[in-house]
Homo-oligomer: A and B are copies of this chain.
Amino acid sequence: VTLHDVAVRAGVSATTASYILNGRSDEMRISPATQERVRAAADELSYRPNPSARNLRTSTTRSIGVISDLVAGGPFASQMITGATLAARAHGHYIVIGESQGDADLEGVLIEQMLDQRVDGIVYATVITADISVPPALNHQRAVLLNCFDHDTDLPAVVPDDYQGGRSAVEALVAGGVRDGVHVVGGRPASGGTAAGLRLDGICDALAAVGSSLASEIHCDWAVRDAFAAVDRFLDQGGRPAGLVCMNDRVAMGAYQALAEHGLAVADDVAVVSFDGSELASWLRPRLTSVVLPYAEMGSRAVDLLLGAPALEAGVTRVPMPMAEGSSVAKR
């Protein structure tokens, strides 16, 4: 059922029908009676415009492309996609996803394809918060960076506020009476992420603010088994921390396991806080207090930025990281 059909049924020309159905009736000063007839016809025929035809004519697709390394498939940041989807929907757009699996060539292809599809804009997302170089295909395109940024470009970027997150983590500890003997588990990983550095800055500053300082950094990859091994060794060597700030919830899980192995009770013997705010945090016993990575919020912000201001405002948006309260820090 085409626009023409509707027009015929309402006894007008396609032009008139087009105006009315696109909300330009007033501008064109079309008689209310005609409007009514056309709308009724469209309704009865349950008319829906053909997007391809419209796109061909207007070269706008009301679609936005999200390209990412692993976000879509990975459990952690798929929330970014959800957030983006919701925001897009609110703007009357839909989303096309491309996952590069970390392959730069594939990534280029995906971007080209999306451009071919005439997406109205592209969100470029990464699993890890990092300082990157945007792929060349993205230059001079309407795009927003999600969970990453690039100093050499003026594309807007959306990242979590890791510095503030670091401060919050320490504040949770301090609220539980822990200010000395605080160790960080994880530390700076080899890969080019920026989260660790900023969080550490926040942690150190917050500690300094209460007249203390970081006792040590226990280095390990940000994974359960590595964290377990590292903390286990630390405890074996006689380490007796009062508080542990873990770089993510998986690290915290490893720390929990190591503490248990040594007969130390989380909260009562050692306070633990972490970053992520994933489901895992709520699965642990006792429930883990964790600084939330606001993925959904970030995703929707990115899309808002992309679709919002006609002229994209450059610069990075730092999204606050709220706190998910658990019971891994004793109350006092």
* A contacts, CB < 8 Å to B: 48-53, 55-56, 59, 61, 72-76, 78-79, 81-82, 85, 94-99, 112-113, 116-118, 224-225, 228, 250, 253, 257, 260, 279-280, 282-283, 285
Contact = CB atoms under 8 A, between A and B. Distances in A.
A51 B117 contact: yes
A289 to B, nearest CB: 16
Contacts of A98: 94
Contacts of A260: 260
B224 A283 contact: yes
Given A51-B118, A257-B285, A79 B73 contact: yes
Contacts of A78: 72-75, 78
State the main secondary structure of chain A at its contact with B: helix
A279 B73 CA distance: 13
A116 B283 contact: no
Contacts of A81: 72-73, 97
Contacts of A75: 75-76, 78, 279
B82 A99 contact: yes
A94 B99 CA distance: 11
A96 B99 contact: no
Given A50-B118, A72-B72, A257-B285, 6 more contacts: A51-B116, A73-B79, A94-B117, A96-B96, A224-B283, A250-B283
B97 A95 contact: yes
A113 B89 CA distance: 11
A53 to B, nearest CB: 5
Most buried by B among A95, A279, A285: A285
A56 B55 CA distance: 9
A85 B56 contact: no
Contacts of A51: 116-118
